[in-house]
Structures are given as structure tokens and as C-alpha cells.
Amino acid sequence: MVTVSGVQDKNTRWAELIRQAKYRTEGEVNVIANMANISAMVHDAFGFFWAGFYIKDSADELVLGPFQGPAACTRIPFGKGVCGTAWKERRTVIVPDVNKFPGHIACSIQSKSEIVVPVFIDGEVSAVLDIDSEQTGAFDETDGKNLEELVKLIK
């Protein structure tokens, strides 16, 4: 993969990751299998601290799904923390400093910044893709836009 040293390299890396993810998910109908591959690919491509999915388990709770990284929180309530907020607001949430996010759920004190992208299936949020970094300010709109494209591969 291309080394990230600037915006162009970052865009190139995302384009390559999305291309590879399309190949991995094409024809695969199992959502869990696709989530597992996507979380591994994102984790490996960028070296993020944690990358994985929380899946809607009920009307008011997400449960831990496929992920890469250290052990994580198992359940997240609707509207709570960054994941629950992205689910409730049906939008990507970028948090440059998790210590400044009201109600942040600290699964690990090593996490410093976070991005959460809702996964829509049939117009409903069925899961969220959660990515954590050990660096503050690790995520921007470029990441958000590309992750939104990436999660569209989950059907």
C-alpha cells in the first residue's frame, strides 16, 4: 500500500482499500464475514488502534461484532457514547479528542480520537463501524467520506 504522507497519499490509500474491499465482499452475502474482512483491512491498512463493528441487537442496544484490536466494550446503549450517538443521529461522528466528548464510553484509556460511521441496510442503521486511534486528531472528513463508501459494501 501507499505510505500516507499527505492528503493525496491518504486518498490513494483509501481508494486502494475500497478497491480491495469490493473484491473481498463481491458475491458474499454474509454480513458478519464482510464486517470481519473490512475491519481487518481497515486495521491493517492504517494501523489504527481499534477497528470494528457494533451491531444493532435490539431497538436500544448495539452489541460487539467483528473487530481488530484489544478487547472492547460488549454493549452500547442507543444514544450513548460516540457509537450510540452516530446510531441515534444517523450520521458519521468524528471526535478529535475523546476526553472532550460528553458521555464518551472509555473501552480503553489508550484511545485518544475516534470516528464512527453508521451502516445502513434497507434504510435503517443496522450497525456502526467504530475506529479508534492512539493519536488525537487522527480522523478528518476524508476518512469519513471514504469510510461511508466502504460500509456501503456491507449488504
CATH number at residue 34: 3.30.450.40
User: Which pLDDT does position 4 carry in this prediction?
Assistant: 43
User: Which pLDDT does position 7 carry in this prediction?
Assistant: 53
User: Which pLDDT does position 5 carry in this prediction?
Assistant: 46
Residue numbers of the domain that contains 105: 7-151
User: Which pLDDT does position 142 carry in this prediction?
Assistant: 95
Look at residue 144 and tell me if it is in a domain.
Answer: yes
User: Which pLDDT does position 107 carry in this prediction?
Assistant: 79
Look at residue 2 and tell me if it is in a domain.
Answer: no
User: Which pLDDT does position 8 carry in this prediction?
Assistant: 58
User: Which pLDDT does position 154 carry in this prediction?
Assistant: 93
H runs (alpha helix) in 5-154: 7-25, 31-46, 81-89, 141-151
Look at residue 85 and tell me if it is in a domain.
Answer: yes
How many distinct structural domains can be found in the chain?
1
Look at residue 78 and tell me if it is in a domain.
Answer: yes
Look at residue 28 and tell me if it is in a domain.
Answer: yes
User: Which pLDDT does position 1 carry in this prediction?
Assistant: 40
Q: Which residues of the chain have pLDDT under 70?
A: 1-8
Residue 143 in contact with residue 135, Cβ under 8 Å? Answer: no
The sheet with strand 113-121 has its strands ordered as 75-77, 61-68, 50-58, 124-133, 113-121, 93-95
Look at residue 1 and tell me if it is in a domain.
Answer: no
pTM of the model: 0.92
Look at residue 30 and tell me if it is in a domain.
Answer: yes
